[in-house]
Amino acid sequence: MSKEAYNVCVVGAGAVGSEMVRLLKKHNFPMKSLVILARSERDEVIDGETYQVKEGTPEAFEGMDFAFFAGTEGSKGASQVLGWEAVARGCIVVDNGDDFRMDPRVPLVIPEVNAEALKDHQGFIANPNCSTIIALMALAPLHRAAGISRFVACTYQAVSGSGSAAIAELEQQAHAWAEGRAMEVSAYPHRIAFNVIPQIGGAKDVPGVPSEELKMKRETHKILGDDSIRISTTCVRVPVLNGHSEALHVELRKPLSVSEARDLFEKAEGVVLNDDLDHAGYPMPIDCSGKEDVIVGRIRKDEVFDNGLALFVAGDNLWKGAALNAIQIAEKMIEMGLA
């Protein structure tokens, strides 16, 4: 049976952590208390309100009901060091980092797609990668209706996916270009202003394949529960402040017309259809930034594939691609009586 109110903590005070705090309040999440944890104590101001950030230690999770790990502050360490410590103290962890996504103990969840996976949770739930979430919000309705045999995804990912330092770097480079000054480069291996970088993550597991592209394949298989889907991805960082876009080319197991696909998207939870090429209506990052829904459009037959469809999607990577999805997981758990 769910409680009336919960003790909540957010681990990480970077770009995603701040959005988690913002969205918890926007959604009127039933909170008894809210604490922000990070590597060191300090004050953080979010929307004009000052929060006293506390040091993240195992003991800090005593009495907590939900812990949202932002995956940005100490991303390769916070949930590894503290995640299961929080679970051991009776806290439900929702982790935005990638350390445990493929762990068989850990459900990998998009509430609109596979909420049933939450039923078997062991206190630790993982948020999928931002590009995976945005793609599957569009692909899952197609898969349920006609089955996906394979798809090609080309992503156009905003710098906010790399954190607040990357946002500042793009802004600084744009100002430097306008003023005729040299651009400083630190967040990426090349300048990002007026450029695109066809690498997101390192290529450690599979030579020549950056980690972001592997994530999309592996996470899609786990979320949809179908390892037979063949997936090819190219993930590209683009000079956009916020909002990821993706071109998706899909082969279905059964025929599905463009009009039938539009009907599916019009009925899909968390999806907004914008598909009016004659009036320049299609998904763009400028329209999805600060919005909870994923926008789907440019729906057309793809003649390369049998039963092929092509579409374009855009979603706020900090919201639905990260902070919002994590909060929706907790909301769904409460709704299902799992917390």
Q: Which domain holds residue 35?
A: 6-127+322-335
The helix/strand/coil state of 152 is strand
Instruction: Confirm whether 201 is domain-assigned.
Output: yes
Report the alpha-carbon distance of residue 146 to residue 139 in Å, rounded: 10
Looking at the structure, tell me whether residues 192 and 284 fall in a common domain. yes
- pLDDT given for residue 74 in this prediction: 43
Looking at the structure, tell me whether residues 144 and 81 fall in a common domain. no
- pTM for the structure as a whole: 0.96
63-67, 145-149, 162-166, 182-186: range with lowest mean pLDDT? 162-166
Quote the DSSP letter at residue 91: P
Instruction: Confirm whether 293 is domain-assigned.
Output: yes
Confidence grade of residue 290 (pLDDT, cut at 50, 70, 90): very high
**Amino acid at residue number 87:** V
7-11, 97-101, 267-271: range with lowest mean pLDDT? 97-101
- pLDDT given for residue 77 in this prediction: 67
Instruction: Confirm whether 22 is domain-assigned.
Output: yes
Does the pLDDT value for residue 75 go beyond 50?
A: no
Looking at the structure, tell me whether residues 163 and 137 fall in a common domain. yes
Instruction: Confirm whether 197 is domain-assigned.
Output: yes
Report the alpha-carbon distance of residue 243 to residue 291 in Å, rounded: 10
Instruction: Confirm whether 1 is domain-assigned.
Output: no
Q: Which residue stretches of 115-161 are H helix? A: 130-146
Instruction: Confirm whether 119 is domain-assigned.
Output: yes
Q: Find the CATH number of the domain harbouring 75.
A: 3.40.50.720
Encoded tokens for 43: 């004050």
**Amino acid at residue number 185:** V
Looking at the structure, tell me whether residues 327 and 307 fall in a common domain. no
Looking at the structure, tell me whether residues 187 and 232 fall in a common domain. yes
Looking at the structure, tell me whether residues 168 and 74 fall in a common domain. no
Q: Give catalytic status of residue 143 as yes or no.
A: no
Looking at the structure, tell me whether residues 188 and 241 fall in a common domain. yes
Which tens digits make up the pLDDT trace of 88-147?
A: 999 999 999 999 999 999 999 999 999 999 999 999 999 999 999 999 999 999 999 999
Encoded tokens for 279: 């009036």
Instruction: Confirm whether 261 is domain-assigned.
Output: yes
**Amino acid at residue number 248:** L
Report the alpha-carbon distance of residue 172 to residue 181 in Å, rounded: 10
Cβ(139)–Cβ(248) below 8 Å: yes
- Rounded alpha-carbon distances, angstroms, from residue 329 to 67, 98, 102, 151, 276: 12, 16, 17, 26, 32
Looking at the structure, tell me whether residues 214 and 147 fall in a common domain. yes
Looking at the structure, tell me whether residues 115 and 150 fall in a common domain. no
Which tens digits make up the pLDDT trace of 200-245?
A: 999 988 999 999 999 999 999 999 999 999 999 999 999 999 999 9
Instruction: Point out the catalytic residue in the list 121, 143, 235, 244.
Output: 244
Report the alpha-carbon distance of residue 315 to residue 28 in Å, rounded: 22
Report the alpha-carbon distance of residue 125 to residue 305 in Å, rounded: 35
| Number of domains making up the chain | 2
Looking at the structure, tell me whether residues 109 and 151 fall in a common domain. no
Task: Give the pLDDT mean for 55-74.
Answer: 88
Looking at the structure, tell me whether residues 13 and 90 fall in a common domain. yes
Looking at the structure, tell me whether residues 61 and 166 fall in a common domain. no
Does the pLDDT value for residue 283 go beyond 70?
A: yes
- pLDDT given for residue 176 in this prediction: 98
Give the rounded percent of residues in the chain with a pLDDT score beyond 90. Answer: 94
Instruction: Point out the catalytic residue in the list 91, 130, 235, 288.
Output: 130
Encoded tokens for 138: 């569009």
Q: Find the CATH number of the domain harbouring 238.
A: 3.30.360.10
Instruction: Confirm whether 83 is domain-assigned.
Output: yes
